[in-house]
C-alpha cells in the first residue's frame, strides 16, 4: 500500500460492470453472464496505474462478484427496455462525454504545466512564516497480510511482545514499506481508505491496531507520530505545500485556456429556455 492512493468506491466497481468489451479474444476472461463476459483487463483499466500493483486476489474477486450482480440486473433491465428510457439515455450520453473529455483535459494539463524550483523558492522565502500544517498528519507503520487468520496470528504475536518492525520485514506483503519496518511515512487521513483512517485515529502513539480490512488485504497498523494542524512545517514540507498550491493554480488557469480555445474553434448556439409550462419531460 502506497500513501496517496485514490480511494476506490462502489462507484468504481459499478463502472467495471459497464466496461467496454472490445478485443476480448486477446484478454483473460474472468466471468460470463449469458453472452456477456468480464475480462481481467476490464477491471484493471478502471484502476489508476499507481494502484494496480497491490490489488489482492480478494479485491479482484469482489470486483468479479459485483460485476456479476450488476450484469444480471442490467440484462433484466434491457429485456424490459429500460435502457431505451429517455432519462437513462441522457445519463449514458452525458457520462460517456464526461469520461472522454476528462481524458483529454488530463493529457493536456500534464503536458502543459511545469513548475520550476525558482518559482517555489521565491514564494517559500516570502511566505515561510505563514506556511503551517493544514490538517492533522500521521506517521504510521503497517503489516499487510492476505487473510484475516494470518493477520490475527501476527496480531497475537505482537501482543506477546514480538517486535513490530521484525514482523513487518518477515511477513508484510507490502515489501516496499517492509524493508523499513513497515513505515509508511507522513500522511493525512484523506490519503488512505476510510477503514484505515478510522483505525488510525483511535490509536495512541506507539500502539497498534487489530487487523483492519481494506481492498489491499488486512493491515495491522502502528501509530508512531501524530502532528496537529497548525504546526510549523520543515522547509521540505513547506516547499511541497508551495508546489502543490502552484500546481493547483496553474491547472485552473490552463483548464480555462483549453476551454476557451476549444470554444473559439466551435460553432456554439445558446437558445432561450422553455417557458415554465413547457418544461414537461417525456414519460420515463
Task: Name the grid cell of 114.
Answer: 511545469
Q: CA dihedral in degrees (91, 97, 102, 105; nearest 10)?
A: -150
Alpha carbon distance 134, 35 (integer Å)? 52
CA distances from 281 to 94, 95, 275, 284 (A): 17, 20, 13, 8
Residue 31 CA to residue 69 CA, distance in Å, equals 11
CB 38 within 8 A of CB 45: no
Mean pLDDT of 58-76: 89
Residues 6+ apart with CB under 8 A from 226: 136, 137, 138, 139, 205
Note the pLDDT of residue 61. 86
Over residues 45-73, mean pLDDT:
83
Q: Is 250 exposed, middle or buried (0-12, 13-18, 19+ CB in 10 A)?
A: middle
- pLDDT on residue 186: 86
- What's the CA gap between 121 and 105, in Å, rounded? 28
Integer Rg of the chain from CA: 24
Domains of the chain and any CATH numbers: 10-100 (no CATH), 131-227 (3.10.50.40)
Residue 283 is predicted with a pLDDT of 60
Mean pLDDT estimate for the chain: 85
- Backbone region of residue 181 per phi and psi (left: phi > 0; alpha: psi in -120 to 50; beta: other values): left
Cell numbers for 35, please give them.
453472452
The band of 284, judged by pLDDT with boundaries at 50, 70 and 90, is low
pLDDT at 268: 95
Counting residues of the chain whose pLDDT is more than 90, the rounded percentage is 51
**Where does residue 119 rank: exposed (0-12), middle (13-18), buried (19+ CB within 10 A)?**
middle
Q: What is the mean pLDDT of residues 148-174?
A: 94
**Percentage of the chain modeled with pLDDT above 70:** 89
pLDDT confidence of residue 15: 53
Between CA 162 and CA 142 the distance in angstroms is: 14
Residue 173, by phi and psi: left (phi above 0), alpha (psi -120 to 50) or beta? alpha
Q: Which pLDDT does position 6 carry in this prediction?
A: 31
Mean pLDDT in residue range 100-116: 91
Q: How confident is the model at residue 128 (pLDDT cuts 50, 70, 90)?
A: confident
- Cβ-Cβ contacts under 8 Å for 248 (sequence gap 6 or more): none
Dihedral (C-alpha) 224, 226, 232, 237: value to the nearest 10 degrees? 60
Question: Does position 14 have pLDDT exceeding 70, yes or no?
Answer: no
What distance in Å separates the CA atoms of residue 187 and residue 267, rounded to the nearest whole number?
47
Amino acid at each position: 500500500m502506497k500513501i496517496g492512493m485514490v480511494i476506490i468506491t462502489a462507484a468504481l466497481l459499478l463502472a467495471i460492470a459497464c466496461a467496454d468489451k472490445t478485443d476480448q479474444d486477446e484478454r483473460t476472461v474472468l466471468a460470463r453472464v449469458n453472452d456477456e463476459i468480464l475480462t481481467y483487463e476490464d477491471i484493471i483499466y478502471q484502476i489508476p496505474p499507481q494502484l494496480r500493483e497491490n490489488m489482492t486476489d480478494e479485491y479482484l474477486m469482489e470486483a468479479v462478484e459485483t460485476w456479476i450482480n450488476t450484469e444480471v440486473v442490467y440484462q433484466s433491465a434491457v429485456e424490459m427496455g429500460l435502457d431505451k428510457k429517455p432519462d437513462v439515455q441522457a445519463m449514458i450520453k452525458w457520462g460517456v462525454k464526461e469520461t472522454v473529455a476528462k481524458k483529454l483535459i488530463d493529457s493536456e494539463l500534464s503536458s502543459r504545466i511545469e513548475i520550476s524550483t525558482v518559482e517555489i523558492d521565491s514564494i517559500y522565502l516570502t511566505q515561510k512564516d505563514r506556511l503551517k500544517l493544514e490538517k492533522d498528519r500521521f506517521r504510521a507503520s503497517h503489516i499487510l497480510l492476505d487473510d484475516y487468520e494470518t493477520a490475527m496470528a501476527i496480531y497475537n504475536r505482537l501482543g506477546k511482545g514480538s517486535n513490530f518492525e521484525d514482523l513487518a520485514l518477515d511477513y508484510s506483503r507490502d515489501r516496499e514499506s517492509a524493508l523499513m519496518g513497515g513505515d509508511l511515512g507522513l500522511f493525512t487521513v484523506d490519503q488512505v481508505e476510510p477503514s484505515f483512517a478510522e483505525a488510525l485515529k483511535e490509536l495512541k502513539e506507539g500502539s497498534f491496531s487489530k487487523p483492519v480490512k481494506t481492498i489491499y488485504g488486512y493491515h495491522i497498523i502502528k501509530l508512531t507520530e501524530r502532528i496537529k494542524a497548525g504546526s510549523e512545517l520543515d522547509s521540505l514540507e513547506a516547499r511541497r505545500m508551495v508546489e502543490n498550491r502552484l500546481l493547483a493554480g496553474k491547472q485552473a488557469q490552463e483548464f480555462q485556456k483549453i476551454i476557451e480555445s476549444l470554444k473559439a474553434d466551435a460553432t456554439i448556439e445558446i437558445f432561450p429556455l422553455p417557458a415554465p409550462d413547457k418544461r414537461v419531460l417525456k414519460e420515463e
